[in-house]
Homo-oligomer: A and B are copies of this chain.
Amino acid sequence: MSQALKEDVEEGVVFAPRFDAHGLIVCVTVEAATRDVLMVAYMNELALEKTIETGFAHYWSRSRRELWRKGETSGQTQKVLSLRVDCDQDALLLEVDVGGDGKACHTGRKSCFYRALNGDGALVFSADGA
């Protein structure tokens, strides 16, 4: 990136998300009330458009290769309270209110990050099952 372009991207007010070679941008989704990181997913241009247009999070499922309105079947919708972009505009941060039972992860847990690495190099499940 040239210095002038870098300045525009980082210090400008123009929203110019940078999709990768696969047409995707990574998105971190945080629950507004608790600030828990719920999930990391990807959006293509259409998913981002639909998210902005409807006010509800849409993602691109890389495994199913389809647009995915979060909670469409499960009820765990994500109402977008804010959409942020990072300095170089290649990552998004959604702050959401979660619908349904609030379990964002397809495994039935609140957050996808339900395991932490311990000192022995094994994963330990969160005590609260979240």
Interface residues of A (CB under 8 A from B): 10-15, 26, 28, 30, 35, 37, 39-40, 52, 82-88, 91, 93, 105-107, 109, 112-117, 121-125
Set B37, B116, B117: member contacting A37, Cβ < 8 A: B37
A107 to chain B, nearest CB (A): 5
A117 to B117, CA, bound (A): 35
| A66 CB to nearest chain B CB (Å) | 17
User: Assuming A15-B117, A35-B35, is B123 touching A105 (CB within 8 A)?
Assistant: no
> What's the nearest-Cβ distance from chain B to residue A14, in Å?
7
Q: B83 to A12, Cβ gap below 8 A?
A: no
Determine if A83 and B116 form an interchain contact, defined as CB atoms under 8 angstroms apart: yes
